[in-house]
Chains A and B, each alone.
Chain A
Amino acid sequence: MYGFLGPNGAGKTTTLRLLLGLLQLQGGEVRLFNKSLAKSRIELLRKTGSLIESPSFYSNLTAAENLLVFQKVYGCPKARIQESLELVGLGKTGNKPAGNFSLGMKQRLSIATALLHQPSLLILDEPTNGLDPNGIIEIRELLRRLNREQGMTILISSHLLAEIERLVTHIGIINKGSLLFQGTLEQLQRKQSQGSVTSWHTNEPGRAMGIFRSYAILPTLVDDQVLIPTAERELIATLNEQLVLNKIEVYQISPVKNDLESIFIDLVKST
């Protein structure tokens, strides 16, 4: 499961549209399943399900009729209509036109459409938009199940890392059209531990920096606070002792928040 992250306007939807052939390429080539989209569009789309941005459905038709529209063109068995609806919890919507559905139900219907032909690759652009917390958990569970039980590859975009960090195995971070990071979740987590720092608030930051340097530590001064890479707690105790022995008043020693969300924000800010 691949999480595609970026702030609003970063280019996530544009990238996904390019992947589906909905936008003309200005250069380069899109390849899915190791085949060129331009040359094998129909074959590749047969293996791909998608939900791009807001839900799309025919408001005058019922949930089952909406899926029937797509069942005809995908040529999948009719039984898949009810199966897909059951899967997203819309199995009992009867004759209610989809236009009268709540936003959450509309989103589920769009996910059912994407799942109808049992694709190998599922592309979902912010699929939990408009869902209540319970709905978000259900969809997350459904995606996990599809990935685990059916081996479906899922590409899911979001502007919130917290929303997908417990779901995905790989992450891509995009901003202003450039890919800033791509790798496994572990690689991102490693980046987190490498990047974590401790902040020292003292009355004489200049002298404090000199003492840190004598321990082969490279300090930086930010807003009158000295930042050093996070070290073993014994070393922190020694450094603190040295500062006090040198008559420097230490007001506060604190780790700088550096969770995945901060890394994401830092990456995005740096562009």
Chain B
Amino acid sequence: MNFLYSLQSEWLKTKRSTASWLCLIGGAFIPLIFLAGFIKDQRSINAYTSPDIWKKYFFQIWQFMSLAILPIGVVLASTLITQVEYKNNTWKQLHATPQRFSVIFMAKLGIILLMTLKFFLYFNIGILLSAVIPSLLFDHRFPRQAIPVAFFLAENGKLFITCLPVIALQYLVSLQSRNFLVPIGVGIMGLVGSLILIQTWQYAYLSPYSYTPLQIVGGKAIREKINIPLLSVSYFAGITLLCYYLYMNKKEKG
């Protein structure tokens, strides 16, 4: 029960926050570009000739998302949510409330995960709207294939799991550093470095930042060679434990 109240309290802090706006803008960005392209060319999703129109569209749109917007969005959201206490000088107030430190730690992590889910939700709504709106606008026939809900959920689930190591690592750095630029710098360097390594080094998958792009653009070969979800979960568990240890043993709590 305490955890739920703590979670509610943390969720309230994201109201009108930069992280919240980024989540909406980041989630809507790529679908809006696709929508604008359809409208400009007076086309709709029906122009796709594949028998699996939805799957093709899904992967095409996710390709852009997984390479940049999603990893950067996750880095920014994790950092901004954690740094809200440094920015507002509120760690001392939060740590003087009658809550266990472990509850505060888990509630904050929970909010970052929920915010990432919200990002996924906005993006998926965006995917559907960018497909549906042009069809209605130009009175095109809607694809005959049913929307593969189970497939959408499964692929979203896998991609969400690939974000976990980045979330844990950003959470760790953000909790340790008062300076907002440090976690952002670590995140951006990790992402850019991983994107370069994916092209040039066979062990690029060792980087916790590499899994989201690898899941979409890594190809079948890499997915057969390594178990991306398992590696992601392992990294997440390991980094979260380290993060918890460092947080609990921090000498100064505000």
Q: Which of A22, A72, A74, A110 contacts B252 (CB 8 A)?
A: A22
Query: Which stretch of B87-95, B155-163, B218-226, B234-242 is in the interface?
Result: B87-95
Q: Mark B1-39, 1 if CB is under 8 A from A, else 0.
A: 000011011001101110000000000000000000000
* Structural contact, A65 and B98, CB atoms closer than 8 A: no
A59 at the interface (CB under 8 A from B): yes
Return the 8 tightest CB-CB contacts between A and B, nearest first: A72-B9, A46-B98, A45-B98, A56-B90, A56-B93, A24-B251, A42-B98, A20-B96
Question: Would A60 and B251 count as touching, CB distance under 8 A?
Answer: no
- Check if A101 is an interface residue, CB within 8 A of chain B: no
23 CB < 8 A contacts A-B: A17-B92, A20-B96, A22-B95, A42-B100, A45-B98, A46-B98, A50-B93, A50-B96, A53-B92, A56-B88, A56-B92, A58-B84, A59-B87, A60-B17, A70-B93, A72-B5, A72-B9, A72-B12, A73-B6, A73-B9, A73-B98, A74-B97, A97-B16
Interface string of B228-254 (1 = CB under 8 A from A): 000000000000000000000001111
B140 vs chain A, min Cβ distance (A): 42
Interface size on B, residues (CB 8 A): 26
Q: Report, as a range, how many residues of chain A touch the other chain.
A: 20 to 34
Instruction: Write the nearest CB–CB distance from B5 to chain A, whole angstroms.
Output: 5
Provide the bound-state CA to CA distance between A100 and B179, in Å: 23
Which of A50-76 touch B at CB < 8 Å? 50, 52-61, 65, 68-70, 72-75
Q: Which residues of B contact A97 (CB under 8 A)?
A: 16
Question: Measured between C-beta atoms, what is the minimum distance from B87 to chain A in Å?
Answer: 8
Residues of chain B in range 81-124 having any CB-CB distance to chain A below 8 Å? 84, 87-90, 92-93, 95-100
> Closest chain B residue to A99 by CB distance?
B88
Nearest CB of chain A from residue B191's CB, rounded to whole Å: 27
A232 at the binding interface (Cβ < 8 Å): no
Residues of B within 8 A of A75 (CB): 5
Tell me if A21 counts as interface (CB < 8 A to partner B).
yes
User: Which residues from chain B contact A52 at a C-beta distance below 8 Å?
Assistant: 92-93, 96, 254
Q: Which B residues touch A54, using CB under 8 A?
A: 89
Chain B residues with Cβ below 8 Å from A45 are: 96-98
Considering only CB atoms, which chain B residue lies closest to A97 in the complex? B16
Please give the residue numbers on chain A whose beta carbons come within 8 Å of chain B beta carbons, in ascending order: 17, 20-24, 41-43, 45-46, 48, 50, 52-61, 65, 68-70, 72-75, 97, 110, 113
Please indicate which of the listed interface residues B12, B252, B253 has the most CB atoms of chain A within 10 Å of its own CB: B12
C-alpha gap A17/B251 in the complex (Å): 11
Find A69's partner among B9, B87, B92 (CB 8 Å cutoff).
Answer: B9
Q: Are B6 and A21 in contact (CB under 8 A)?
A: no
A73 adjacent to B92 (CB under 8 Å): no
B89 touches A60 (CB 8 A): no
A73 & B253 in contact (Cβ 8 Å cutoff): no
Q: How far, in whole Å, are A257 and B12 apart by their CA atoms in the complex?
A: 55
**Which residues of chain A are within 8 angstroms of B6 by Cβ–Cβ distance?**
72-73
Checking A42, A57, A60, A74 against B15 with a beta-carbon cut-off of 8 angstroms, the contacting residue is: A60
In the assembled complex, the Cα of A181 lies from the Cα of B5 at a distance in Å of 43
A24 to B252, CA, bound (A): 7
Residues of chain B within 8 A (CB-CB) of A50 are 92-93, 96
List the B side residues contacting A68 at CB < 8 Å.
12
Known contacts A17-B92, A22-B92, A56-B88; A69 and B98 CB within 8 A of each other: no
List A contacts of B254 (CB < 8 A): 17, 22, 52
Asked if residues A61 and B12 are in contact (CB atoms below 8 Å), the reply is yes
Question: What is the CB-to-nearest-CB distance from A244 to chain B, in angstroms, rounded to a whole number?
Answer: 64
Distance in angstroms between the alpha carbons of A164 and B251 in the assembled complex:
32
Known: A69-B9, A70-B97. A61 touches B90 (CB 8 A): no
A22: which of B13, B87, B88, B253 is its contact (CB, 8 Å)?
Answer: B253
Report how far A43 CA is from B100 CA in the complex, Å: 11
Q: With A and B bound together, what is the CA distance between A113 and B88 in angstroms?
A: 14
Assess whether A23 is in contact with B253, with CB atoms less than 8 Å apart: yes
- Residue from the list B9, B88, B100, B252 in contact with A59, Cβ < 8 A: B88
Shortest B81–chain A CB gap in Å is 12
On whether the beta carbons of B15 and A61 are closer than 8 Å, the reply is yes
20 further A-B contacts with Cβ under 8 Å, apart from A23-B251, A52-B93, A72-B9, are A20-B92, A20-B95, A21-B253, A22-B252, A22-B253, A43-B98, A46-B98, A48-B96, A50-B93, A50-B96, A52-B92, A52-B254, A55-B89, A56-B93, A57-B88, A68-B12, A72-B6, A72-B8, A72-B12, A73-B97
- What residues of B have a CB within 8 angstroms of the CB of A43 in the complex? 98
Given contacts A45-B96, A70-B97, contact A58 B251 (CB under 8 A): no
Distance in angstroms from A10 CB to nearest chain B CB is 19
* CB < 8 Å neighbour of A56 from B16, B89, B99: B89
Query: In this complex, what residue of A is CB-closest to B100?
Result: A42
Bound Cα distance A74, B16 (Å): 23
